[in-house]
Amino acid sequence: MESTYVSILPIRTSDLADISVQTVYANNITFLRWIVSNGDDSISMKQNSTNIYIANCTFYNGLSFAMGSIGQYPGQINVIENVTAENIILYDTIYGARIKTVRMSRPALWRSH
């Protein structure tokens, strides 16, 4: 199922929450005027999230924005593209934003000719 043209309006989360919201296989999502206080990602864009707009939000504590983990599921194509965030206020967050990737459990083998 694909979400299309969804606007998610104000929400307040408590310190009891982990991740406030995740987008997965989502397209054309808008987050406006969110106030989030938690100990993890405030808004997390995961695999195949496209055209995400985030504006006029305030995040307290936690990790702020996260994009990823890309490459988490072997053999699957994963994209995160066209993410726009503007007019964001951060208080005591560890990051402003971060991109999460998955480190392979075994080193890649390269063959040269």
| C-beta of residue 59 within 8 angstroms of C-beta of residue 39 | no
Is 56 part of a structural domain of the chain?
A: yes
Specify the higher pLDDT residue, 65 or 14. Answer: 65
Q: Residue 92 belongs to what domain range?
A: 6-99
| C-beta of residue 45 within 8 angstroms of C-beta of residue 24 | no
Identity (one letter) of the amino acid at 38? N
pLDDT tens digit string along 65-83? Answer: 999 888 777 788 888 999 9
Is 108 part of a structural domain of the chain?
A: no
Is 109 part of a structural domain of the chain?
A: no
Is 18 part of a structural domain of the chain?
A: yes
Q: Could you list the active site residues? A: 40
**Residue 12: per-residue pLDDT:** 55
Is 110 part of a structural domain of the chain?
A: no
pLDDT tens digit string along 28-42? Answer: 999 999 988 888 889
Name the percent of the chain lying above pLDDT 90: 40
CA separation for the pair 20, 86 (Å, rounded): 18
The model carries a pTM of 0.75
The torsion defined by the Cα of 25, 97, 59 and 35, in degrees rounded to 10, comes to -20
